[in-house]
Structure 1
Amino acid sequence: MEKFTKLKELLASVEADAEKFYNAGNSAAGTRVRKAMQDLKVLAQDIRAEVTEKKNSAK
């Protein structure tokens, strides 16, 4: 559950940069959004692996 909480916090932290990129055209904010999205992807993969491991160990 700790990783899921981290994922939510990361998504919330990138929201301001997404607003700046999409609404104000700030390209530096776009770079930060891309980095955050990559971090989210990695974290989501970790969560998937953890869930699968936990599910399979319960059998």
Structure 2
Amino acid sequence: MEKFSKVKELIASAEADAEKFYNNGNGAAGTRLRKALQEIKGLAQEIRNEVTELKNKEK
């Protein structure tokens, strides 16, 4: 559950950069947003693997 909370934190922190990029055309904010999304993607994959592992243990 710790990783899921981290994903939620990353999304919340990336929201400001998303607004700056899409509403103001700030290129640097776009770069920060892409970096945050890459971290989210990695964490999401780790969570998926963990869920699969725990689900298969139960069988």
Normalised TM-score (structure 2): 0.98
* Structure 1 residue 26, shift from structure 2 partner: 0.3
* Structure 1 residue 40, shift from structure 2 partner: 0.6
Q: Aligned letter for 1:3?
A: K
Query: C-alpha distance in 1, partners of 2:18/2:8?
Result: 15
Query: C-alpha distance in 2, partners of 1:57/1:17?
Result: 40
RMSD: 0.4
User: Number of paired residues?
Assistant: 59
- 1:7 aligned residue: 7
Structure 2 residue runs without a partner (length 5+): none
* Structure 1 residue 43, shift from structure 2 partner: 0.3
- 2:40 aligned residue: 40
Q: Which of structure 1's runs of 4+ aligned residues deviate more than 4 A? A: none
Structure 1 residue runs without a partner (length 5+): none
